[in-house]
Structure 1
């Protein structure tokens, strides 16, 4: 399980349209087949690779799909670079100019490793996609900002630590993150390839769960631009796979009285059956189910209720099918 800590902005807009749905009329089979035919290709001639990926595709979104998916499936995350940059961020925490100077020198080494060994970290993924889009005549930008994880930017935005892309298709901007599509790290040392399509042309509200751009215009949502984030429930890569947007409870940590009713609510951009929804607590390797009631599921808006009858601290997880998608923490006190 890869942990990607999200935040929910305090104002939630219901004008949600999953951006990928703008292209429901497009069949990506041809683009995905082109990616498969070019699996494992080297980066020594980037222009030729871009041509092979895009020249037989008729629309920009198909071309971008081929570029994005190839990068996500063929570039590996580099734990050494990730850990090195993390240590340098800590070292230069109070010296931003010193960090910028070091980072500018390190980028030369990082990009050389990317081209020679197809290993990189977030900036490398974003850089490669931008360069290939340029060669395909597609407008694409690198977006720098804050990613929230179980280790960084948990309670506040302390330091920017991530990069992703915005791409312009049919005169509209879209968001994506090839780094997190490509796979995940185990204990910050082992990269596991595991393509996650949930970060491709993601709905801006869902994307904002763990991406906070330095320039707020790249939220691509007017309501989000005006909002401040608060520590919110934890989400995971599976959250994006199932396209789940948590709504209530709003905060990661909630203090309530014993027997007080808790209202759970979330939005799903995919179809979810009632039998696939559960609320659990994990104790060791055992999943203990909580009783839920008043379950409602209408037009993708799902809600239910639960009462905690005993005092104590609880880590509670929303589960869709076999995947934990949202986690909460509750402190239950006397009435």
Structure 2
């Protein structure tokens, strides 16, 4: 095999090898996190200086990237109103490619200016800043554009690309992360952004990441096989807590289920972070109807959690698997007469 072909083969392998945070279970991120906190409030006037301050005393690339990632998540505010304006305009122009391209260029320029001046941005700005700071530390990092899926976007029907995140190369493997969704949430009740770091979006298992991230270029799925876009659109809905717990729903694979009355359904979950399964509940809603029950839970021979529920009442329900009061996974279930 020629040297050129060998290089291509190795590059392809490094993209496809499963990569996630557990690869670095031997690394203590305490120092990296402390450095990120030490420079909290630093300006973006000089990105080279900021990158140097965050990384120069750290030995490994993963620690350096961790300090960069934690700093960005703790210091950059999600500009919710800019996001809404961009979403509205892009949807309006989606059938006119020239006008859409002009708007994208204008909005991107405006986004970067506001990022540097006010430290407010949307997903594109987060991804840009992560890439720039990482590259300055001589860490390979790419911006990935694609589709983000929430409870009301990219459900069964594909939108135009609506989200950006990053891939970073560490120890010759590529990893996925999303600083936008790690950083916090916008509190609509108080019209303010709330920093609430979610470590679940940092070097995430690709099999979980694809549940609500789908790149335009499918090589950046980083899954063992290419997951079709239909699986992304039609799968169950996942939430921030799903990522905090690193839980991957594996069965059923579709959002919408049809079952017979008194039929038992087994929901399979791949457990990431250990959790107290006694805190798992099932919530079913239909209009004003709402009920919560404790499911039967055990582990099967493949070490997957089996969450079992028997549907004894006909109707159409939103079916939520919850951990305490937080949503983990949502299905819709139509229960028909046996």
**Fold conserved (TM > 0.5)?**
yes
- Judging changes above 3 Å, is the alpha-carbon distance between structure 1 residues 300 and 272 closer, same or farther for their aligned structure 2 residues? farther
Q: Which residue of 1 aligns with 2:6?
A: none
**Alpha-carbon offset, residue 94 of structure 1:** 0.5
Q: Which residue of 2 aligns with 1:256?
A: 259
- For residues 320 and 87 of structure 2, the distance between their equivalents in structure 1, rounded to whole angstroms, comes to 29
- For residues 280 and 138 of structure 2, the distance between their equivalents in structure 1, rounded to whole angstroms, comes to 44
User: Equivalent residue of 2:23, what SS?
Assistant: helix
Q: Which residue of 2 aligns with 1:196?
A: 198
* Structure 1 residues 269-308: aligned runs within 5 Å: 269-281=272-284, 288-293=291-296, 295-296=298-299, 300-308=303-311
- For residues 248 and 292 of structure 2, the distance between their equivalents in structure 1, rounded to whole angstroms, comes to 21
Q: Which runs of 5+ in 2 are unaligned?
A: 1-15
Q: Which residue of 2 aligns with 1:216?
A: 218
- Judging changes above 3 Å, is the alpha-carbon distance between structure 1 residues 93 and 202 closer, same or farther for their aligned structure 2 residues? same
Q: Determine if contact 1:16/1:203 at 8 Å carries over to the other structure.
A: no
More helix by share: 2
User: Equivalent residue of 1:158, what SS?
Assistant: coil
Q: What TM-score comes out, normalization by structure 1 length?
A: 0.89
Q: Deviations over 1:217-238 (max 9, x none)?
A: 0001231356742412111101
- For residues 325 and 300 of structure 2, the distance between their equivalents in structure 1, rounded to whole angstroms, comes to 19
**Alpha-carbon offset, residue 322 of structure 1:** 4.0
* Structure 1 residues 1-335: aligned runs within 5 Å: 19-187=20-188, 190-225=192-227, 228-229=230-231, 230-281=233-284, 288-293=291-296, 295-296=298-299, 300-335=303-338
Deviates more, 1:123-132 or 1:151-160: 151-160
- Judging changes above 3 Å, is the alpha-carbon distance between structure 1 residues 176 and 116 closer, same or farther for their aligned structure 2 residues? same
Q: Determine if contact 1:18/1:269 at 8 Å carries over to the other structure.
A: no
Q: Deviations over 1:118-143 (max 9, x none)?
A: 00000000000111111111100000
Q: Determine if contact 1:19/1:174 at 8 Å carries over to the other structure.
A: yes
Q: Determine if contact 1:274/1:297 at 8 Å carries over to the other structure.
A: no
When the two chains are superposed, the root-mean-square deviation of aligned CA atoms in Å is 2.3
**Alpha-carbon offset, residue 64 of structure 1:** 0.3
- Judging changes above 3 Å, is the alpha-carbon distance between structure 1 residues 53 and 65 closer, same or farther for their aligned structure 2 residues? same
Deviates more, 1:21-30 or 1:264-273: 264-273
- For residues 45 and 151 of structure 1, the distance between their equivalents in structure 2, rounded to whole angstroms, comes to 38
Higher RCO structure, 1 or 2 (CA under 8 Å, sep 6+):
1
Q: Deviations over 1:78-104 (max 9, x none)?
A: 012101110111111101222111111
Aligned residues: 321
User: Equivalent residue of 1:223, what SS?
Assistant: coil
User: Equivalent residue of 2:27, what SS?
Assistant: coil
- For residues 53 and 178 of structure 1, the distance between their equivalents in structure 2, rounded to whole angstroms, comes to 16
Q: What TM-score comes out, normalization by structure 2 length?
A: 0.88
Q: Which residue of 2 aligns with 1:6?
A: none
Q: Deviations over 1:243-297 (max 9, x none)?
A: 1111222221212221122111111112233323222236899973325336336
Q: Deviations over 1:53-111 (max 9, x none)?
A: 01110111100000011001110000121011101111111012221111112222111
Q: Which runs of 5+ in 1 are unaligned?
A: 1-14
